[in-house]
Structure 1
Amino acid sequence: MRFISIFFIFFVFLSQTVFAEGPMVQNSQNQVAELSQTVKSLQETVKQLQLTVQSQNEVLQQQNIRIAGLEQSKTSPQQTGAVVPVSASTTRGISQGFNPDIGMVGSVVGKLTESKEDQEGNNSIALKELELNVGHVVDPFSRADAVISFNDAIGDQNANIEEAYYTRWGLPLGFTGQIGKFRSKIGKQNLLHSHQLDTVDYPLVIRDFFGEEGLASSGARLSNMIPNPWDQAIEITGEILRGNNGTSFSGISRRPIFNSHVKTYFDLPSDANAEVGWTTLFGDENPDTIYVDDSGNTVVIHHLEGQTRYGVKVYGADLTIHMPLPEGKKLKWQNELYFQNRTNRVHPNDKPWGFYTLLDYRFSEKFSTGVRFDYVQPLDVFGNPRETTSISPYLTFWQSEYADFRLQYSHTGPENSTGKVNNELFLKTNFLIGAHKHPVE
């Protein structure tokens, strides 16, 4: 009986102790969790500080290498007569400091079409383009960039210098200059390489007026911001380009193309913004001389030196509106319109014009969709109708910053009364490795 009483008293005491310690244990666990979170935060802070210190050490190391190189040049063998050895680590550090940024971009396109023509890429999968990008600062005042592209076109496999130019900033009056080969600053989409487009291909008006992938040519460019009493951002650009490129012009290198472009920006309600631009180009035509000889034969003479100085005038306007939406969504509306004033001695259409309008909706981090409508009166249209229209809806999957996939359908009307409607389906893949820098649009 005494044993049972003692056991009962011990059980009651133990139960009270356990229940009393319950809240204390819970409080201790909460404190331990808070301490653990604090320790993790401190560890992350220390890690960031270590990375910062490491970065600063690398900068100091590069500066020390440059200082050592300068001091060595002051005490060169030509001045002292002594042979000063350079360590392998110093040489390696200097070379690494001046290594260029290198990147590669590939674009693969699959295409199904109703067209019966045996054109490149029809009803096949092909490497549309492989770009090699190389660029680096030359010195504190300038930079050099180059874009070299390759393709596996069946008829004409080649390597092409898409761009290679030298940029010098800090010129008198605040100008920035470029010389070399570059994509001309015409509107918005002509500046972009094909993998930068929202769609699989360039708009019809760009292809017909400036070339299948727009206008890129060797030349010189100056750009600057225009001061004004309204404190409005206004950029002006002037270019002189070699005349051998661009379907609207002479194709003669010695006959230059002159281009000017002005753009400005506006803030709109709801954090939206608008960019407005204007483009003017002047260039030469190169019409053939046609006459009938004494025997009644028609003779055609193609002039290699170019004709009708500044006979081609191209005017363009562009408008782009960016609108941020809730939950990180974005909406873009982009438009470009072009009009030509020329003779009909080279192309049948003396006053062709065209435009496109594009609506792009980024509805999630991984997906965007949109549609582009094209209208153009082609340079070489014959008969009626005198225009071509196209509508191209698309869907893009952004796998990451370095890879994306795009599905696009295009319905294109005939160019003339004998043409046929063409329906096309595209699947395009873009992938990127390494560094990749293009100028801001």
Structure 2
Amino acid sequence: MRILFIIFLSLFSALALSSSGFANEMTLESFQQEMSRLQNLVVSLQSTLKDLTKTVEGQNEIIHRQSVRINALEGDKSFPAGSMSAPAGAPKLAGISQGFNPDIGLVASIEAKSTQSPEDGEGNDTIALKEAELSISQYVDPFSRLDSVIAFNDNLEEQNVDIEELYYTRWGLPLGVTAQIGKFRPKIGKANLLHSHQLDTAGYPLVIRDFFGEEGLASSGARLQTIIPNPWDVPFEVSAEVLRGNNGASFSGISRRPIFDTHLKTFINISENSQLELGGTVLFGDENPAVVTFEDDALGTEIPEAGQNKYGIKVFGADATFYWFLPESKVLKLQNEIYFQNRATHTRFDNQNPWGLYALLDFRFSKRWSVGLRYDHLQPLSIVGGSTEGVSPYLTFWQSEFADFRLQYSYTKPADDGTEPNHEVFLKANVLIGAHKHPVQ
């Protein structure tokens, strides 16, 4: 019996040891399989991470290109007109009162100029504060906004303070209409919408200065604008304005004789990195012709009198701007505008069909530098048969988004053949502090 017990115990021990070894073998094999599975999972996760990294890099590149495109198209940013909802950051009203914490900004434009003046032969070499522009803006409530731009200059001949713009904007009206009332720069082409410090060059193109004034056209009035729905899903912005007629460059210069204008603008995405903006403008208003009467005497003396030719002035314009957004923040821009006038007979200007254009090529070849050239051609209001030609190359250093410095040379050949060409050199600095907003371009 003892022998059987010993044999049974021996067999049990052998089986136990055998089972333990088998279990150890199974545990080791399972561990190896688990390690292999984890290694495969790590490889898969690494591959997924690489794909996600590429996706993020691609999205960052798209965001960067869009940022460059927005900066190029809009310049200084403001809330886009035509929104149907309250803007982000609009103040919350407490009862009928609201806090006064407006956006305030100041731009100083300082210009040094050397010119060979055709008039006196000595030129007009000077350095001066060309303009200081104070902007104050705030949302009135969730549906409207008030913007103002007040300009100061250091012109020794005519130091003054000018309200360049002060207008009230109300969006969310029926049919997606946005309304503005006050004093503003009308939607005429591209250059007229911009303040001088926003221009690519040291001054406005010749056709803008001759047709609308040295600083372009700005007047009190009312504006309606909206986006026209269409089956092509292409943005068509249309605006209509009525302005005081106190712009004497092309029109009557009389406040009670209004100027009417309309503007159509659209954008076409040519490719992922290029865009074309097209616009058309029509203006019409009154002119003060040099009406001639005769005295009742033997000599028949001519007496010029101020008369009015109702809607005798018609101005037609077209603009085209091409943007090409290149890698590394490079941007190529080609901007063109052309204007024609149809004037009634016997006006105070000799030229009944003046016209002019400019073509501007601007290349932002790095984040800090851009170079460009503007060509001007003008058949002015006051001269028949003659043309003014101008060429203006320039170089701009963008120290930051708050400061830029521009060196420009301008050659201008007047329409009068008896006048010598004018050579000008400009060095201009634009410095910004605070918040400074202009309408989106």
**Which TM bucket (shorter chain)?**
0.7 to 0.9
- Name 2:313's counterpart in structure 1: 312
Deviation at 1:299, TM superposition (A): 4.0
Indicate if the aligned counterparts of 2:309 and 2:344 stay in contact, CA closer than 8 A: no
> 1: distance between equivalents of 2:154 and 2:129?
6
Q: Deviation of residue 302 (structure 1)?
A: 3.5
| Greater C-alpha Rg | 2
Q: Secondary structure at the match of 1:392?
A: strand
- State the match for 1:114 in structure 2: 116
User: What is aligned with 2:234?
Assistant: 232
Match of 2:172 among 160, 167, 170: 170
Equivalent of residue 300 in structure 1, options 287, 300, 303: 303
Q: State the match for 2:219 in structure 1.
A: 217
Give the drift of 1:161: 0.6
Cα distance 1:287–1:178, how it changes in 2: closer, same or farther (>3 A)? same
Q: Which SS does the other structure have where 1:205 is aligned?
A: helix
**Which one of 266, 270, 273 corresponds to residue 271 of structure 1?**
273
Which residues in structure 2 correspond to 1:122-271 (within 5 Å)?
A: 122-271=124-273
Offset, 1:393: 0.2
SS in 1 for 2:207: helix
Q: One-letter code of the match for 1:370?
A: G
Residue identity matched to 2:334: W
Give the whole-Å Cα distance in 1 for the aligned partners of 2:118 and 2:333. 35
C-alpha contact 2:118 2:421 (8 A) present in aligned 1:
no
Are residues 100 and 302 of structure 1, via their aligned partners in 2, closer, same or farther at CA, if it must alter by over 3 Å? farther
Is the contact between residue 412 and residue 421 of structure 1 (CA under 8 Å) also seen in structure 2?
yes
Identity across matched positions, percent: 60
TM-superposed deviation, 1:171: 1.0
Q: Distance in 2 between matches of 1:328 and 1:434?
A: 25
Amino acid at match of 1:168: R
CA contact (8 A) 1:249 1:285 kept: yes
- CA distance in 2 between counterparts of 1:150 and 1:314 reads 31
Q: Could you say which residue in structure 1 is the equivalent of 2:414?
A: 414
**1:80-124 Cα shifts (integer Å, max 9, x gaps):** xxxxxxxxxxxxxx87x43211111111111111114379x9210
Q: How does 1:37-116 map to 2 (within 5 A)?
A: 70=95, 97-116=99-118
Amino acid at match of 2:412: T
- Kindly state the Cα deviation for residue 228 of structure 1 after the two structures are TM-superposed: 1.1
CA distance in 1, matches of 2:254, 2:312: 14
SS at match of 1:177: strand
What is the DSSP-based 3-state SS (H/G/I as helix, E as strand, rest coil) of the residue aligned with 2:271? coil
Matched position secondary structure for 2:335: strand
| Residue of structure 2 in register with 1:286 after alignment | 288
1:343 aligns with 2:331: no
2:294 partner letter: V
SS in 2 for 1:202: coil
- Closer/same/farther in 2, CA of residues 329 and 221 from structure 1, 3 Å limit: same
1-structure distance, mates of 2:206, 2:256? 28
Q: CA RMSD in A?
A: 2.1
Q: Give the 3-state SS of the residue equivalent to 1:186 in structure 2.
A: coil
Contact 2:293 2:305 in 1 (8 A): no
Given the alignment of the two structures, is residue 396 of structure 1 paired with residue 399 of structure 2, yes or no? no
For residues 270 and 427 of structure 2, what CA distance do their matches in structure 1 show?
35
Q: Deviations over 1:105-150 (max 9, x none)?
A: 111111111114379x921001111111010000111000111101
Go from structure 1 to structure 2 and tell me whether the alpha carbon gap of 1:344 and 1:422 turns closer, same or farther (over 3 Å shift): farther
SS at match of 1:268: strand
Structure 2 counterpart of 1:233, which letter?
P
Higher relative contact order (CA 8 A, sep 6+): 2
CA deviations over 1:196-221 (Å, ceiling 9, x no partner): 00000000000001110110000000
Structure 2 residue identity aligned to 1:375 = H
Per the normalisation by structure 2, the TM-score is 0.76
Determine the C-alpha separation between the residues in 2 that align with 1:188 and 1:311: 25
1:401 is displaced (CA, Å) by: 0.9
Aligned to 2:431: 431
CA distance in 1, matches of 2:279, 2:317: 8
Could you tell me how far apart the structure 2 residues matched to 1:232 and 1:308 are? 39
| Structure 1 runs not aligned, ≥5 long | 1-58, 74-93
What's the CA shift string for 1:161-183, capped at 9, x where partnerless? 10000000011111000000000
| Equivalence for 1:34 | none
SS of structure 1 residue aligned to 2:440: coil
CA distance in 1, matches of 2:163, 2:271: 43
- Residue 292 of structure 1: CA displacement? 3.4
Deviation digits for residues 236-289 of structure 1 (CA, Å, limit 9, x no counterpart): 000000001151101011110000000101011352000000000011111122
State the AA in 2 paired with 1:194: S
- What does the per-residue CA deviation read over 1:311-360, in whole Å, with 9 as the maximum and x for residues that have no partner? 00000000001101122211000000000111242210001111000000
Which amino acid counterpart does residue 249 of structure 2 have in structure 1? T
Give the letter for the 2:115 counterpart. Answer: T
Give the AA of the match of 1:170: G
